[in-house]
Amino acid sequence: MKFLRLFFIIFLIVSPNQIKADDENLKNKITKNLRCLICQGQSVYDSDSEFANSLKIVINKKLNEGLSEQDIYDYFEDKYGEWILYDPLFNKNTYFLWILPLFMFLIGGLIIFKKLIKKYK
C-alpha cells in the first residue's frame, strides 16, 4: 500500500500534464506579448482574427521545434518589424520613452528630498 502511494505521488510529480500546462503558460505569455496587427488594441492572445489564429499555430510549431521565447520574438520582429512586440526595444527612437519616467522619478525624488532637508533644518 505504501509503495502504491509513493508510486502515485511520483507519477503526479512527473506526469506529462504538468509539462503541458507549462507549455500552455509559455504560449499564452508569448501571445500576450505580441500585437495583433490587423485588430487595433488587441494582443494575439485576445484576438480571434484569421491573422492571430495563424500566428498561434506558428508559435505552437516553433515551440515544438524547441525555439526559446526570445527566439520566437526575434523571428516575428524579423518578419513584421518591432511594431509586433508590445515591449518596445531600447533604441534611438524609444530612448526618450524609456528614460522619461526615470527622469520624472528622479526630479520628484529631488523635490521631496529638498523639502525634507528644509524641514529638518
Partner 1 sequence: MKMKNKFFLLSIIATFIFIFVIFYKGLQDTNIYTPLVKINNDIPSFSAELLHSNETIDSLDLFESNKYYLLNIWSSWCVPCREEHPILMNLTKDKNISVLGLNYKDTKVNAKKFLDELGNPYEKIIFDKHGVKSIEWGAFGVPESFLIHNNKVVEKYIGPLNQEIIKKIKLLIK
Q: Which residues of the chain form contacts with partner 1 (CB under 8 A)?
A: 37-38, 40, 50-51, 53-55, 57-58, 61, 78-84
Alpha helix segments (H runs only) across 15-85: 16-32, 50-64, 69-80
CA distances from 33 to 14, 74, 86 (A): 29, 12, 5
- Given the complex with partner 1, which of 15 and 81 has the nearer CB atom? 81
Rounded to a whole number of angstroms, the minimum distance from the CB of residue 1 to partner 1 is 50
Q: At what angle do helices 69-80 and 50-64 cross, to 10 degrees?
A: 140
Rounded to a whole number of angstroms, the minimum distance from the CB of residue 57 to partner 1 is 5
- Given the complex with partner 1, which of 78 and 87 has the nearer CB atom? 78
Q: Cα 58–70–105 angle (5° rounding)?
A: 130
- Given the complex with partner 1, which of 38 and 89 has the nearer CB atom? 38
- Given the complex with partner 1, which of 22 and 108 has the nearer CB atom? 108
Rounded to a whole number of angstroms, the minimum distance from the CB of residue 28 to partner 1 is 19
Rounded to a whole number of angstroms, the minimum distance from the CB of residue 40 to partner 1 is 7
CA distances from 4 to 1, 8, 13, 18 (A): 5, 6, 14, 21
